[in-house]
A and B are shown apart, each in its own frame.
Chain A
Amino acid sequence: MKARVIVTLKDGILDPQGKAIEGALKALGIDGIDSVRQGKIFEMELATDDRTAASGVLRGACEKLLANQVIENFQVELV
């Protein structure tokens, strides 16, 4: 089974990289983008086909390593 984990900064956490990208887009004349927040995507191949088990494994992976929950939220998608 394939899965995707999306890690994003929590609301209110300053994202200087997102701000810099936002500025670069404006400088390129790409209009209509009000704000940019940068995050990370992890694409994974899982050993199991059981969706419940897969969610559990990925949740554990996020809590232990993939996300720093002081500043980041995570979201798990099973494909």
Chain B
Amino acid sequence: MNAAIILFPGSNREGDAIRAIAQVTGKKPSHVWHGEPALPVGTDLVLLPGGFSYGDYLRCGAIAARAPVMDAVRAHAARGGLVLGICNGFQILAESGLLPGVLMRNANLRFVCRMQHLTVERNDTPFTSHYDKGQVIKVAIAHGEGNYEADTETIARLEGEGRIAFRYSDAKGVIGGAANPNGSTNDIAGIYSENYRVLGLMPHPENLVDPLVGGTDGRGLFESVAGH
């Protein structure tokens, strides 16, 4: 699998993402600077890493979403290519229109940085085939604007089409309540595009690929994509 990782000024989680991808594919992703007009030929997966692109100016992800390379990312998605946006990458996907809705300020106004349990809502997508349906995984979260909101119709469509990828839960898999770190609608932690080939999520599976740093629950996502 050929992965390309997009770098914006202010991206800062690309190192972990590169490591996670290299670990499962044996191959380092190529780096693509935000000003590039095209992706490397043969790119299978585009990864938008976490960070604070453009210092979160205007709105999180707003300026990055209008960068030249995003036209190429949109074209890649339109061809059915895989796109994964993590944290700020999810915010960029929402701002670019590749995923619906918006990530708003956490309801409690606090930046949250902690370990978080998620439920895997389905395992028949390119990103989750190495998990079980309903499996509870433990990964890291670190964000100030992760409160997923969309209008009622959009939420109903996402739910109806099974486009919720992950929800915030406790260790036992009980969704929501105090386990929701940011107030997101229906405890949504990540969503898919209509064809399930674009995934945006606030948590950081790329941080949990090595037992030395607290677990390997994030690895399944990268193994799924690599095996796809």
Minimal beta-carbon separation of B97 from chain A (angstroms): 10
What separation, in Å, do the CA atoms of A70 and B185 have in the docked complex? 15
The interface residues of chain B lying within 8 Å CB-to-CB of A68 are: 59, 62, 95, 102
User: Do A17 and B109 touch (CB < 8 A)?
Assistant: yes
User: Do A70 and B150 touch (CB < 8 A)?
Assistant: yes
Residue in B102, B104, B106, B150 whose Cβ sees the most chain A Cβ within 10 Å: B104
What separation, in Å, do the CA atoms of A20 and B107 have in the docked complex? 11
The interface residues of chain A lying within 8 Å CB-to-CB of B212 are: none
Closest B residue, CB atoms, query A70: B102
The interface residues of chain A lying within 8 Å CB-to-CB of B150 are: 70
Minimal beta-carbon separation of A41 from chain B (angstroms): 13
Binary per-residue interface labels of chain A (14-31) against chain B in the complex, 1 for a CB within 8 Å, 0 otherwise: 101100100000000000
- Specify which of B102, B106, B108, B183 is in contact with A71 (CB 8 Å cutoff): B102
The interface residues of chain A lying within 8 Å CB-to-CB of B108 are: 16
Given known contacts A64-B66, A65-B66, A68-B62, A14 and B101 CB-to-CB distance under 8 angstroms: no
Binary per-residue interface labels of chain B (106-117) against chain A in the complex, 1 for a CB within 8 Å, 0 otherwise: 111100000000
The number of chain B residues with a CB under 8 A from chain A is 19
- A79 interface residue, CB < 8 Å from B? no
- Specify which of A13, A20, A64, A66 is in contact with B109 (CB 8 Å cutoff): A20
Residue in A14, A64, A70, A71 whose Cβ sees the most chain B Cβ within 10 Å: A70
- B34 interface residue, CB < 8 Å from A? no
What separation, in Å, do the CA atoms of A64 and B95 have in the docked complex? 10
Closest B residue, CB atoms, query A69: B102
Size bracket of the A interface: 10 to 19
Minimal beta-carbon separation of B220 from chain A (angstroms): 31
Minimal beta-carbon separation of B4 from chain A (angstroms): 25
- Specify which of A13, A17, A66 is in contact with B149 (CB 8 Å cutoff): A13
What separation, in Å, do the CA atoms of A17 and B59 have in the docked complex? 14
Given known contacts A68-B59, A71-B149, A14 and B104 CB-to-CB distance under 8 angstroms: yes
The interface residues of chain A lying within 8 Å CB-to-CB of B62 are: 65, 68
User: Do A16 and B109 touch (CB < 8 A)?
Assistant: yes
The interface residues of chain B lying within 8 Å CB-to-CB of A66 are: 58
Residues of B37-72 whose CB lies within 8 A of A: 58-59, 62-63, 66
What separation, in Å, do the CA atoms of A70 and B148 have in the docked complex? 12
The interface residues of chain A lying within 8 Å CB-to-CB of B66 are: 64-65
Given known contacts A65-B58, A65-B66, A68-B95, A14 and B151 CB-to-CB distance under 8 angstroms: no
- B105 interface residue, CB < 8 Å from A? yes
Binary per-residue interface labels of chain B (203-214) against chain A in the complex, 1 for a CB within 8 Å, 0 otherwise: 000000000000
Closest B residue, CB atoms, query A40: B58
Partner-A contacts on B (CB < 8 A): 58-59, 62-63, 66, 95, 100-102, 104-109, 149-151, 183
A-B contact list, 8 entries, CB within 8 Å: A14-B104, A16-B104, A16-B106, A16-B108, A17-B105, A65-B63, A68-B95, A68-B102
